[in-house]
Amino acid sequence: MRAIRPAVLRPALLRLALLCALALVAAASARAADPSFDCAKAEHEIETLICSDDRLAALDREIARLYALARSGPHMDAARAKQLAAYQRGWIKGRNDCWKAGPDDEARAACAADESMIRILELRQGYFDARQNDDAGISGGPLAVACEGWDVGVGFAWAVTDPGLAVIQWMDATVALEQAIAASGVRYVASTYDGDYELWTKGMDAMLTLPGRETMTCKLEEIG
């Protein structure tokens, strides 16, 4: 893990800057998106919900794109491809369990969006080939969020949707966040059973707030 100097922005950070700018105007530029599967053949409640929700459909297409890149990439072998396929089936089953998340479509859609962002991070973090055609997609990362006085690695990935989404991961914790209003930069927030989370990025700088901790001053760094 190495800090990126302001004068030499690497592609990952350049892409973050671009996606942050796009996220600020996502509401104006968002377009409808079909999911990766045939909605006429949707059988599950969550699949039907995805077909009626542009943001969930866009996330589904992005996951399918990342999965295809990982599966067909030059770094894939037969054993790993079999494992990847099994993980993907498991993720789809878990996402579809979001029909249990609440009494209405809003709660179920929020659950499906969270599960989708976690899968995006898993694919981007675990498979180099999934990160090789980012101009064709809506996601970015992973980057590390390195915070002063906290010697814990935090992974960060994001998606340009309406509103934007992000996910952070550290130790055994993973939390999906949603873009919120910010005077500058891009701000993501989440409220869970254990408290409130906030990640506020401004170029290479970031502020991270986790339950039980004071807001931390951080830097975005490339991983690897």
In a domain, 69, yes or no: yes
Same domain? 181 vs 123: no
Asked if residue 163 has a cis previous peptide bond (ω within 30° of 0), the answer is yes
Q: Compute and round to an integer the Cα radius of gyration of the chain.
A: 17
In a domain, 118, yes or no: yes
Same domain? 118 vs 36: yes
Pairing of strands 173-180, 2-3: unpaired
What local confidence, expressed as pLDDT, does residue 12 receive?
55
Inform me whether the pLDDT recorded for 211 exceeds 80: yes
Same domain? 129 vs 144: no
Look over the chain and give the mean of its residue pLDDT values, rounded to a whole number.
88
Same domain? 38 vs 107: yes
Three-class secondary structure of residue 25 per DSSP: coil
- Phi, psi at residue 155, to the nearest 5°? -90, 150
What local confidence, expressed as pLDDT, does residue 11 receive?
53
Which letter, b or e, does each residue of 43-58 get, where b requires 16 or more Cβ atoms within 10 Å of its Cβ?
eeebbebbbebbbbbb
Please give the single-letter amino acid code of residue 222.
Answer: E
CATH number at residue 190: 2.40.128.200
Same domain? 147 vs 100: no
> Which whole-number Å values give the CA distances from 86 to 42, 57, 70, 81, in the listed order?
21, 22, 13, 9
What local confidence, expressed as pLDDT, does residue 157 receive?
98
CA atoms lying within 13 Å on the CB side of residue 221: 15
Of 136, 161, 183, the position where a domain reaches its end is 136
- Domain that includes residue 157, residue range: 139-222
Work out the percent of the chain whose per-residue pLDDT is above 70. 85
Of 77, 109, 136, the position where a domain reaches its end is 136
Same domain? 59 vs 131: yes
In a domain, 43, yes or no: yes
Domain count, the chain: 2
Work out the percent of the chain whose per-residue pLDDT is above 90. 83
Asked if residue 6 has a cis previous peptide bond (ω within 30° of 0), the answer is no
Same domain? 144 vs 104: no
Distance CA 202, CA 65 (A): 28
Of 111, 136, 161, the position where a domain reaches its end is 136
pLDDT in tens, 75-133: 999 999 999 999 999 999 999 999 999 899 999 999 999 999 999 999 999 999 999 99
Same domain? 157 vs 132: no
pLDDT in tens, 27-78: 333 444 699 999 999 989 999 999 999 999 999 999 999 999 999 999 999 9
Same domain? 120 vs 166: no
